[in-house]
């Protein structure tokens, strides 16, 4: 549910997408101005209510309070102070750059702006809205945008995924993001740098690539997302860790899989066999189990665990008389759920599609109070459900 005070910026964004869907030229100009107006309104609206919302640090003294005379650059500085955890993956300097373009459009007759730049700014604004107001923003016209727009959407998803998997101190550190991919495969680190340069070129309107180039970079983002979200491979640390504080963690996958197998046999009271690294089946063939593991990713007072549920794995579970999912959260326990109950939530999960397959994102969150929540697509308080009833708090899984 959208908060009442978000209505203004939401209507401005809907107006912008309405013009953008009509074509180029004049409509792109009006769309860009509307997007920037929406950004300015949402920033100042959020700051106005930030000291009234639980869980949001209040703005300090009267000199830092937002009012009608507060400039846009000052508003962005204040937003960085009170909402740094809500703007992960969003560059406020770029928003200031877009704002300066808006000023030129206001005062220069005949000046236009490239459609790809408008689409990029619109998607950045949409992500900012959803992050600030913790509310999903569904705009029909946004689903009809081109590959440039979809690229920005997926880039934001990549940034969100990386921020969730790294410590708080590294959430805005692009070098830490690169090191994350170095652990998996140095080639992926180079690919990430290439995609990041492309993204910067796109949003600043200096794009000279063809449609095929944009499509290729979109595929590259999906490849990075798939590699980053997959936990079923051992990490490959670079060099020797200098201290215990390093964010790279080596998992003993064979030992964890053996523990999970014994845990499942204890629960099912019968022997099981491993068909694939992530799939088990009882010896009578009646019960199928999808198994996966995730290390812990601290995010402030909460901890997240990431898993993937691929279409073939769903088909495997559906092909059995009964099924279970077992998502092992290293150091915490395991989400052990009957498939006929868990399946009811699958269509609400985030998802990714590439040329090589389609999968759902199973994101579990352990709150500061110890509850286990599962995240749905989008953002906002309504995008998660308590699944503590399925969670077995036991570590190690077997003694």
pLDDT tens for 344-390 read 999 888 877 655 567 888 989 998 888 999 988 765 456 789 999 99
pLDDT at 273: 94
Whether 240 shows a pLDDT value over 70: the answer reads no
pLDDT at 244: 37
The pLDDT tens digits for 157-174 are: 788 778 777 766 666 778
Q: Is the pTM of this model over 0.85?
A: no
CB 38 within 8 A of CB 13: yes
Rounded Cα distance between 75 and 95, Å, is 12
Greater model confidence, 164 or 207 = 164
**Segments of the chain assigned to CATH 1.20.120:** 1-145
CB 378 within 8 A of CB 324: no
Q: At what angle do helices 92-107 and 115-133 cross, to 10 degrees?
A: 130
CATH architecture of structural domain 1-145: Up-down Bundle (1.20)
pLDDT at 114: 76
């Amino acid at each position: 549910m959208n908060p009442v005070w978000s209505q203004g910026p939401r209507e401005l964004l809907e107006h912008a997408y309405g013009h953008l869907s009509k074509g180029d030229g004049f409509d792109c100009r009006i769309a860009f101005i509307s997007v920037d107006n929406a950004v300015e309104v949402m920033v100042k609206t959020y700051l106005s209510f930030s000291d009234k919302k639980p869980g949001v640090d209040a703005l300090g003294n009267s000199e830092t309070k937002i009012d009608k005379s507060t400039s846009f650059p000052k508003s962005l500085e204040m937003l960085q102070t009170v909402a740094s955890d809500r703007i992960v993956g969003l560059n406020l300097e770029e928003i200031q750059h877009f704002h300066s373009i808006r000023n030129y459009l206001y005062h220069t007759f005949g000046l236009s702006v490239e459609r790809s730049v408008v689409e990029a700014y619109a998607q950045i604004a949409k992500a900012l809205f959803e992050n600030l107001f913790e509310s999903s923003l569904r705009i029909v016209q946004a689903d009809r945008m081109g590959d440039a727009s979809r690229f920005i959407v997926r880039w934001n998803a990549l940034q969100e995924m990386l921020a969730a998997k790294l410590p708080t101190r590294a959430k805005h550190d692009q070098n830490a993001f690169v090191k994350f991919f170095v652990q998996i495969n140095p080639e992926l680190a180079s690919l990430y740098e290439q995609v990041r340069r492309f993204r910067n070129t796109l949003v600043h309107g200096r794009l000279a690539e063809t449609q095929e180039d944009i499509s290729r970079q979109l595929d590259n983002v999906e490849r990075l997302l798939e590699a980053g979200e997959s936990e079923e491979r051992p990490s490959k640390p670079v060099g020797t860790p200098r201290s215990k504080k390093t964010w790279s963690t080596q998992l003993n996958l064979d030992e964890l899989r053996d523990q999970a197998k014994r845990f499942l046999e204890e629960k099912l009271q019968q022997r099981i066999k491993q068909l694939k690294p992530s799939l088990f089946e009882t010896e009578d063939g009646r019960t199928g189990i999808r198994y996966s593991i995730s290390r812990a990713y601290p995010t402030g007072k909460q901890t997240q665990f990431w898993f993937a549920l691929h279409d073939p794995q769903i088909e495997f579970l559906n092909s059995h008389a009964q099924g279970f999912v077992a998502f092992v959260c290293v150091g915490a326990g395991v989400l052990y759920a009957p498939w006929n109950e868990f399946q009811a939530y699958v269509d609400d999960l985030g998802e990714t599609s590439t040329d090589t397959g389609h999968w759902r994102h199973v994101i579990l969150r352990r709150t500061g109070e110890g509850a286990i929540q599962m995240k749905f697509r989008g953002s906002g308080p309504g995008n998660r459900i308590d699944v503590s009833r399925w969670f077995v708090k036991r570590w190690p899984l077997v003694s």
